[in-house]
């Protein structure tokens, strides 16, 4: 029976391969980083499994990676003494892309090679990067503990098919042989390969060995060419920014430098080390796959890699953080379930949260531009923390940035501290309005009276804002008040210049308000004379606890049954349109006028009319009158 089989790649592998070879072209040297990182993962896995089954190491306890080249054969080889793969595992891991987010990942690509190469790097298509420089790849592998006869040889040119065959392999682990494309000869150089290892893989925790060079040719003996110690275990004083950045890129597959990091050794009732990074750009998976599939924080226990434990060690709203946690005290046989309820783990999680918030605080204080960039990337994710992390709400609130009537256009640059520092005399609340766009928020009739008095209003228009703001009821002891909901307490802001006049006008206008109420019937819950308006004829107002109108619309569009709160119509008695009612004896025409007021208020909200044609008819009739 022949053991050689030819198989087709799963469809999405074909797609990814195609993309990778094109988009990564300008970063082609990262193949070495990716393959070395796979080799390092394989060594990590074996180290972990060998704790329970030391026999897996056989008579070769050395975990190492080797990189060599052969100028004549035009090959570069990356070899490890790690866990290796069985035949089924090769088919499973190399022939398909098991990761569940692949489809969404492919959809998120823009076709812009630069942007896509970043995403591809982060997505970690690792192994396939080999095909950027190789026309043919041969992978030989044997699972640790399996007999020599159970070696596997896999080969492909990366176009649609691969072959897989049994082969006797004396060594465990994996070897990847790249048969370079004709114009990739630059990698057939000891010097070039060494400089790539030190650029990208210096901080891999296992020795990477290359053959010593003699007269520009590889000699027989090996030497270690990387630093080969876990970076986070080294004293901070010894580490340079470049070291941290290099390690970050390895960890995150990012092409860009991290924005900032925090590195701490904690001793006390338990000991652990944290090294946490905030990326400069949102990692693909944190933003696209959302809260379910979080990755990026690696848990080590006494230097042994255990698992990716982002979910256990970081709250969802910090899912953009990348890093390493190394614990002295957790048991090596820890499982996800144990992590879930372990007391030591919850302390580490609290520390990760605190350190990350400290780091963000520091950037916000020291480098406003940098923080503005981060806010653009992660602001909406951070906002989830307001709802999610009650204990840190005030700290997270401090990190929020908003557009505002006194800010810089639509840019979200105003902090709650900025706001509080310039509150008007007598002002007790922090005012904000939510809408489905910046323009709608800025144009909200509800904010007119405040703006006219020089009071600042925060303009919230991200989808998450309505939800978030329902959890953010105070900051620094000051209530947050939605300008379109409930009473806004204008009187406390000092008497308006025309207070007496207005009171008289309200009294005089009471019958008109009653008349409009009668005309609109149960379309609204009430009609009132407004103190919020100065320019618009009318606006819609909700009760304090009600969901904003634009949010009700969003939910309805998404197919949810919404128990819509009926708004109050507030009218501006000083507006000429309202004056017109006095002159209108005809009840049908007055009814039209009242409806137009209501419909315009709804339009100003960004809402949609049930019968736009009828609205146009009514307006035209009034215009023509
Ligand atoms: P990733 O490393 O992000 O999972 P890759 O495409 O690089 O993606 O690798 C796919 C899988 O193939 C890995 O998850 C691993 O299970 C397996 N693999 C790759 N390289 C090796 C190796 N050197 N030793 C053992 N397994 C490997």
Domain limits of the chain? 5-228, 232-368, 400-492, 499-624
Supply the pLDDT for residue 623: 86
- Report CA(450)–ligand 1 centroid distance (Å): 59
266-276 in b/e form (b: 16+ CB < 10 A) is beeeeebbbbb
Any ligand 1 atom below 6 A from CB of 437: no
Rounded to whole angstroms, how far apart are CA atoms 261 and 246?
12
pTM comes to 0.80
CB 379 within 8 A of CB 412: yes
Supply the pLDDT for residue 104: 65
Rounded to whole angstroms, how far apart are CA atoms 232 and 455?
49
Instruction: Please state the atom number of ligand 1 nearest to the C-alpha of residue 176.
Output: 23
Supply the pLDDT for residue 489: 76
Dihedral angle computed from the Cα positions of residues 230, 20, 134 and 248, in that order, rounded to the nearest 10 degrees = -10
Alpha helices (H) in 95-212, listed in sequence order: 102-108, 113-123, 130-133, 190-200
Q: What does each C-alpha distance from 164 to 23, 88, 451 come to in angstroms?
A: 28, 10, 72
Q: Which residues contact 563 (CB under 8 A, 6 or more apart)?
A: none
- Substitution site in 9, 15, 41 for ligand 1 pocket (most atoms within 8 Å of beta carbon): 41
Instruction: Please state the atom number of ligand 1 nearest to the C-alpha of residue 128.
Output: 6
Residue 409 gets the label, from left (phi > 0), alpha (psi -120 to 50) or beta, of left
Any ligand 1 atom below 6 A from CB of 205: no
Supply the pLDDT for residue 605: 82
- Report CA(127)–ligand 1 centroid distance (Å): 6
Any ligand 1 atom below 6 A from CB of 346: no
What is the layout of strands, in order, in the sheet containing 272-279? Answer: 258-266, 272-279, 322-327, 297-301, 304-308
CB 158 within 8 A of CB 2: no
Please provide the distance, in angstroms rounded to a whole number, between the alpha carbons at the two ends of the chain. 95
- Substitution site in 93, 102, 156, 252 for ligand 1 pocket (most atoms within 8 Å of beta carbon): 93
Any ligand 1 atom below 6 A from CB of 81: no
Rounded to whole angstroms, how far apart are CA atoms 352 and 212?
42
Beta bridge partners of 141: 152, 174
- Report CA(38)–ligand 1 centroid distance (Å): 5
Nearest protein CA to atom 15 of ligand 1, as residue: 93
CB 526 within 8 A of CB 569: yes
The domain made up of 400-492 has a fold known as: Rossmann fold (3.40.50)
Supply the pLDDT for residue 477: 95
CB 533 within 8 A of CB 577: no
Supply the pLDDT for residue 547: 80
Q: What does each C-alpha distance from 589 to 571, 586, 612 come to in angstroms?
A: 18, 5, 18
Any ligand 1 atom below 6 A from CB of 91: no
Q: Which residues contact 65 (CB under 8 A, 6 or more apart)?
A: 36, 39, 40, 43, 78, 79, 80, 81, 204, 206, 207, 208, 209
Sign of CA dihedral 87, 92, 96, 97: negative
User: Closest Cα partner for 304 from 604, 44, 32?
Assistant: 44
How many CA atoms lie within 13 Å of 220's alpha carbon, on the beta-carbon side? 0
Supply the pLDDT for residue 1: 41
Any ligand 1 atom below 6 A from CB of 190: no
Beta bridge partners of 549: none
**Two domains, one topology: 5-228 and 499-624:** no
Nearest protein CA to atom 12 of ligand 1, as residue: 93
- Substitution site in 67, 102, 126 for ligand 1 pocket (most atoms within 8 Å of beta carbon): 126
Nearest protein CA to atom 9 of ligand 1, as residue: 127
Q: Give the containing element (helix H, strand E) for 584.
A: none
Residue 243 burial by CB count (10 A; 0-12/13-18/19+): exposed, middle or buried? middle
Please say whether the structural domain 5-228 has been given the CATH code 3.30.565.10: yes
Rounded to whole angstroms, how far apart are CA atoms 429 and 540?
21
Nearest protein CA to atom 21 of ligand 1, as residue: 38
Report the CATH architecture of 232-368. Answer: 2-Layer Sandwich (3.30)
- Report CA(43)–ligand 1 centroid distance (Å): 11
Any ligand 1 atom below 6 A from CB of 121: no
CB 161 within 8 A of CB 169: no
- Report CA(348)–ligand 1 centroid distance (Å): 29
Beta bridge partners of 430: 480
Any ligand 1 atom below 6 A from CB of 95: no
Task: Report residues of the chain scoring pLDDT below 70.
Answer: 1-2, 23, 97-125, 284-293, 494-498
Any ligand 1 atom below 6 A from CB of 144: no
Return the ∠ at Cα 91 (arms to 197 and 298), rounded to 5°.
45
Instruction: Please state the atom number of ligand 1 nearest to the C-alpha of residue 83.
Output: 25
Any ligand 1 atom below 6 A from CB of 44: no
Any ligand 1 atom below 6 A from CB of 97: no
CATH of domain 499-624: 1.20.120.790
Any ligand 1 atom below 6 A from CB of 39: yes
Any ligand 1 atom below 6 A from CB of 42: yes
- Report CA(90)–ligand 1 centroid distance (Å): 9
């Amino acid at each position: 029976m022949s053991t050689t089989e030819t198989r087709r790649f799963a469809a999405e592998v074909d797609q990814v391969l195609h993309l990778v070879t094109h988009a990564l072209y300008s970063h082609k040297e990262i193949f070495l980083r990716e393959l070395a990182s796979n080799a390092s993962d394989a060594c990590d896995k074996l180290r972990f499994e060998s704790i329970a089954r030391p026999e897996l190491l056989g008579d070769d306890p050395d975990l190492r990676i080797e990189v060599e080249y052969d100028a004549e054969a035009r090959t570069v080889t990356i070899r490890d003494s790690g866990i290796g793969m069985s035949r089924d595992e090769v088919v499973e891991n190399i022939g398909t892309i098991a990761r569940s987010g692949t489809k969404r990942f492919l959809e998120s690509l823009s076709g812009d090679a630069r942007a896509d190469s970043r995403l591809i790097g982060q997505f970690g298509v690792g192994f396939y990067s080999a095909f950027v420089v190789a026309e043919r790849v041969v992978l030989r592998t044997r699972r640790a503990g399996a007999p020599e006869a159970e070696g596997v040889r896999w080969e492909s040119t990366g176009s649609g098919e691969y072959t897989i065959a049994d082969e006797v392999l004396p060594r465990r682990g994996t070897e990847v042989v790249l048969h370079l494309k004709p114009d990739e000869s630059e990698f057939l150089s000891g010097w070039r390969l060494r400089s790539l290892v030190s650029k990208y893989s210096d901080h891999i925790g296992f020795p990477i060995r290359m053959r010593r060079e003699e007269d520009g040719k590889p000699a027989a003996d090996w030497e270690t060419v990387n630093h080969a110690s876990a970076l986070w275990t080294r004293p901070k004083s010894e580490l340079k920014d470049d070291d941290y950045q290099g390690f970050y890129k390895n960890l995150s597959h990012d092409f860009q430098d991290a924005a900032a990091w925090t590195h701490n050794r904690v001793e006390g009732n338990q000991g652990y080390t944290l090294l946490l990074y905030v990326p400069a750009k949102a990692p693909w998976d944190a933003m696209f796959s959302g809260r379910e599939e979080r990755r990026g924080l690696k848990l080590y226990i006494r230097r042994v890699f255990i698992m990716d434990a982002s979910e256990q060690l970081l709250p969802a709203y910090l899912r953009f953080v990348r890093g390493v946690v190394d614990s002295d005290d957790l048991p090596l046989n820890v499982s996800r379930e144990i992590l879930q309820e372990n007391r030591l783990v919850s302390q580490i999680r609290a520390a990760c949260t605190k350190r990350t918030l400290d780091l963000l605080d520091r950037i916000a204080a020291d480098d406003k531009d940098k923080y503005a960039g981060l806010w653009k990337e992660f602001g909406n994710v951070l906002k989830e923390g307001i709802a999610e992390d009650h204990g840190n709400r005030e700290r997270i609130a401090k990190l929020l940035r908003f557009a505002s009537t006194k800010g810089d256009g639509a840019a979200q640059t105003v902090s709650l501290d900025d706001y509080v520092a310039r509150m008007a005399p007598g002002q007790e609340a922090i005012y904000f309005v939510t809408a489905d766009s910046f323009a709608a928020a800025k144009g909200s009739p509800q904010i007119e009276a405040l703006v006219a008095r020089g009071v600042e209003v925060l303009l919230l228009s991200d989808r998450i804002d309505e939800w978030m703001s329902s959890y953010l009821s105070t900051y620094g002891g000051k209530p947050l008040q939605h300008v379109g909901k409930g009473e806004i307490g204008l009187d406390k802001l000092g008497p308006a210049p025309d207070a007496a006049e207005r009171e008289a006008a309200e009294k005089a206008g009471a019958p008109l308000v009653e008349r409009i109420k009668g005309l609109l019937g149960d379309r609204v819950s009430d009609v009132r004379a407004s103190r919020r308006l100065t320019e618009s004829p009318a606006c819609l107002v909700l009760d304090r606890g009600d969901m904003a109108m634009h949010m009700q619309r969003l939910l309805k569009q998404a197919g949810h049954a919404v128990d819509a709160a009926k708004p109050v119509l507030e009218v501006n008695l000083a507006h000429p349109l309202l004056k017109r009612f006095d002159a209108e004896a005809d009840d049908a025409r007055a009814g039209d006028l009242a409806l137009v007021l209501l419909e315009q208020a709804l339009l100003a909200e960004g809402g949609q009319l049930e019968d736009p044609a009828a609205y146009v008819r009514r307006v035209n009739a009034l215009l023509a009158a």
